[in-house]
Amino acid sequence: METQLTRDILKKVRQIEVRTNRLVNDSLAGSYNSVFKGRGMNFDEVREYVPGDDVRAIDWNVTARTGIPHIKKFTEERELTIMLMIDISSSGEFGSSDSSKREIMAEIGSVLAFSAVRNNDKVGLILYTDFVELYIPPKKGRSHILRVIREILFFTPRGTLTDLKVPLDFVNRVAKRKCVAFLISDFCLPGSFNDSLQDVLPALRVTNRRHDLISLIISDPRESELPDVGWITLEDAESGQQVDLNTSDAQVRNEYAQLAQERKDLTNRAIRSCGVDLLELNTDSPYMPPLLGFFQTRMRRAVR
């Protein structure tokens, strides 16, 4: 039984690897490389000055010693650390199409991880609910990435709720140097939604000052609109709270859609007010076109 389970896990991880490797084409890898720059410049060597070189790069010590003008050459310190902070609370198990929100999060995490590997960057993983369930320190290499994917897909959480402050505070403690931090969640927050959202804003601001923070919100279409199927019982996957709704009533469907839109608008405004970049993705739509478009937008903004 255990051997079969292991084979099934390896098969699923392999499927994710094949699929995401195919998606991480030259276009995406190039966009990733252009968007996420290194931490600075490293000294490479000195060479003789030629007309047109920047005189500010002249190495006066070598020039004085040789009697011939020399300049310093630098190369970009390209290596980055990518931190994937992925929400594995109970609400992520929901999905009305072929994939659940957690499965989409796993694929997106895989795409980002394989893009990082192609650029010789390190990847770390933080799986969280209302506490840090698992931390894998940043490393390089295919075997490390496959472990990251396996944990995203199959790790069994102990918690059910979401607390976005938890991964943000944690990454600020463990990442001593600036990293690119992806906060991946459905933003289904417990209690009063507005109060819960306001509580996380200070942590978003602090993390965005210390790191390059990017928020990815994964949603399902059934969270914003109801089908006309009569009476149904909706249950909050995290709190267990239930409510009965008559979906045949057009007013009920309209009010549900309006409330969902208000929550979405509130979330987007709050995140952007912290200066954090935001990308919204849906379980029933391909995620690669908007992800590539997001990279390209950041790239254009960086060269202005």
Rounded distance, CA 47 to CA 68, Å?
10
The residue type of 41 is M
Segment 25-39 shows an average pLDDT of 60
Output the CA–CA distances (angstroms, integers) from residue 33 to 137, 150, 209, 229, 296, in the order listed.
22, 25, 22, 47, 11
Sequence-ordered alpha helix ranges (H) in the chain: 2-23, 26-35, 60-66, 101-118, 142-154, 165-174, 193-210, 250-273, 288-302
The answer on pLDDT for 215 being more than 90 is yes
The answer on pLDDT for 117 being more than 50 is yes
Q: What is the pLDDT of residues 144-173, one digit of tens each?
A: 988 888 888 889 999 988 999 999 999 999
**Which among 229, 276, 285 is positioned nearest to 95, based on CA atoms?**
285
Please answer whether residues 129 and 38 qualify as being in contact, where contact means their C-beta atoms are separated by less than 8 angstroms.
no
Within 8 A by CB and 6+ apart from 122, the residues are 79, 80, 81, 82, 116, 138, 139, 140
Q: What is the pLDDT of residue 39?
A: 47
Confidence grade of residue 222 (pLDDT, cut at 50, 70, 90):
confident
Rounded distance, CA 107 to CA 90, Å?
18
Which residues, listed in sequence order, are joined to residue 71 by a DSSP beta bridge?
Answer: 47, 58
Q: Which domains does the chain have, with CATH numbers?
A: 2-34+79-302 (3.40.50.410), 41-77 (no CATH)
Rounded distance, CA 52 to CA 33, Å?
28
Token readout for 92 is 């992520």
What is the pTM (predicted TM-score) of this model? 0.78
Measured in whole angstroms, how far is the alpha carbon of residue 157 from the centre of its chain? 19
Rounded distance, CA 96 to CA 141, Å?
34
Is the pLDDT higher at 78 or at 105? 105
Rounded distance, CA 257 to CA 251, Å?
10
